[in-house]
Chains A and B, each alone.
Chain A
Amino acid sequence: MLTFTIRRLVLAVPTLLFISLVIFLLLELAPGDPMAQVPLTVPPDVKEKMREALGLGEPMHIRFWKWLVQFFWIEPQVLVDHMFGTSFSQGDLRVISWQTRSPVMDIVIQRIPQTLWVVGTAYIVGILIALPIGIYSAYRQYSWFDQAGTFVSMVGFSVPPFFSGVLVIVIFSVNLGWFPSIYDTTHVVNDWDSFVVQLKQMIMPVMVLALQITAQISRFMRASMLDNLNQDYVRTARAKGLSEQTVVLVHVLRNSMIPVVTVIALAVPAVFGGAIITEQVFKVNGIGQLLIGAIQANDLPMVQTLAFIFAVLIVLFNLIADVLYGILDPRIRYE
């Protein structure tokens, strides 16, 4: 198992390097000049100095190397310094945002909790709804519950979050006035009333995200249960005289969960990506909105870093899914 994990880890390194190269080259080869906004009255030699100050004067491979060093060597040091009060990163150049002139990672760290709160809650809620639906629709295949579940998940696949989000805003904030349509991130929870306010403002974004997660995972759960329900070991378990509850919820469920758990792990990055739109709809100032803002402001270092963080998430959760699958199902553990 350890060699399996290590092999997957080693394979992840070239993948990450390739992705960082793709992101870097995409931004590099793209036409467009970050100095285009500088007034024409600025003399050329001053312009050249500004260009160097932004780190644009050097050849491409050197800048790629510098970016890698900044991202993989200096930023972790900053994190260590921050946690243990050491000073490894004293005087090192960090990735600076062109928008705010402050280190990119500091802004990202400020924004991540909002995204994590909304996305994390939505993911847990979505899974908690999806699993029972999937189990019951497989157990009663082609019943009205199953048909309804199929329809709801089809709707979940088809209704994009920018429509379902706007729709719940129209219904629940404009017409009924139950929930606020804008997520207030400065809100501090310190007593019961403020907790209720926080709950109210989280319900709508969480529901919109959870609908999509539920649609996906309940389908997987159903398919996986159906695969297992006709297996010989189920008949054996019933023949032994085990109760129906034990057969379905212990024997079948445990085996059906194996692929579902990996799907749950694999879908995490996609949810973060999808949260970009949901954050935009509900004005949650998480990393998704940070990315949109940076793109509109032409803030290349910020865009680069954020795109790369999304890539790291994908590679990381692929790795987790692989290793989980290996732990849960010894048959696929090829060493």
Chain B
Amino acid sequence: MRNIIGISALYHDSACCILKDGKLYAAAQEERFTRIKHDPSIPYNAFMYCLQQADLNITDIDMIAFYENPDKKRQRQLLNLEGGSGNILPITLYNSEDIRKILRDDLGYEGPVTFIDHHLSHAASAFYFSGFGQSAILTVDGVGEWATTTYAYGDENGITPLQEIIFPHSLGLLYSTITHYLGFEVNEGEYKVMGLAPYGNPTFLKQIKQVIINEPDWGFHLNMDYFDFRQKDRMFTDALVDLLQLPPRSRKDHLHQGHKDLAKSLQLVLEEILLDKINYLSTKTQSENLCLAGGVALNCVANGLIAREGPFKNVFIQPAANDSGGAIGAAAEAYFAHHGKKPSSEQLKDVYLGGEYSNQTIKMVLDSTKLIYQDFTSDRLKMLQSVAERLAGGAVIGWFQGRMEFGPRALGSRSILADPRDPGMRDKVNALIKKREGFRPFAPVVLEENVFEHFDIRHLSPFMLETCNVISPLNLPSITHVDNSARVQTTSDSSNPMLAILLKEFDEITGCPILLNTSFNIKNEPIVCTPYDAIKCFIMTKLDYLVIGDFVVNRDDNSIELLEFLIEQSYEVADAIDYNIYTFL
């Protein structure tokens, strides 16, 4: 059992990874290739990419590990539908034989398939890549088969479940319900609710605590008077509207203070419950280490609190904590089941697991266009110095370098970079480039050696998964949120040498070793994958420069009106999910 493919699919954010002799060679989300945001389809393109990256072919694959158990999930789906009537959510039911057939038909795969429970996949995605010999493990999301939250303990004997909370009682579903209530997109707008919370006051704490009731030890439950997860177009009942005395916001409505207060209240209750559960988990496991995964583990504010105030000395959060990371966990668990040992004893150092493009390929694409560009292939340092100067001068840069990141975050391979000191930069990037809501904060990327000087954090943060306070002597308005927090990413020569040099050069010019870093995409599109995607995104936005491989395209050097028009004419937003509801059924 040398080569194992991990797959998460048929829900949202489908992904594929490959473990070759236990080493994670490659992982990618299908949406990056198909350009369909949250693409749930069987990840054929990601699968082919993984094979190619690992220098393997389909005949070399010993097993596919699928990230959930369809038979168990189907039981829950059928039971949940019982008794429902009227505006019921349409669903597609799969059993394990269906999944085997789909994998045979869509990937051409002829070998064995193993099914790993959804939350075990999440747990494995964190523990087996944490580098910890033993650890407490917490997974929290909307729902898997039945479980919505699991507590476990991992050591050399694998992962031992301790307890689970099952559907419909779910922190993830609570968060998604309020996300929808606030007029944001479910499975997408949770970040926005988190970003909105610091603008509010916790005036809805009492009501939220009537909706979710914390219990001693492991437990909590939702008061189901306020929820209806079977409906086609909303997840809450009229009772919730009555309770909150705040009308549900539609997407077009302006945000007012009540919405911000509700977001704040929700966030605080989430943090309180998570912290409580983590304390209990610590008591039960007596471990110094904690692994976190599941969609709720992308809540950076809660993660920051857990790291700062929780009982654990060391915390590892799977960077692809959402369902795409389930692919990695499923493969790792299948590896453990067969070999009786963890695939890796080291902590995951980076998530640069996607495809990359040579200068030869990039140049060929650029030469096909009318774009005028500068070629720095003979002097990369000069390019980085020049880019740093332009950033210091207020330019916003599209940065396309090396292997693409796996997971939801852009961590310096497919990023938009800008000067964090510029007070107008946040509005500029939000409005002109990302074309998104103005209140949303941007994250900083900082050199490892400088992080503690500028941010109140006790450890490195290579995956941008937690917030901390900004303590910098510098004024950093465009990456500092209204509550003085920032979602910091650390980087180094070893993890991302190009970005590290750029930060050093920027520091040299400005005395600031920090850049604003956000994902290289525009609203409603997946992060760019290929040089073609990068050029299209550069043209469609108001980015000042595109730094792609060792080439730099300056917007001012180019007349791009016709190209912009042509791309706009061909522009189609493709999205795979319904944003009104958590399509967990």
To the question of whether A and B form a pair in one complex, the answer is: no
B residues with a Cβ closer than 8 A to A are none
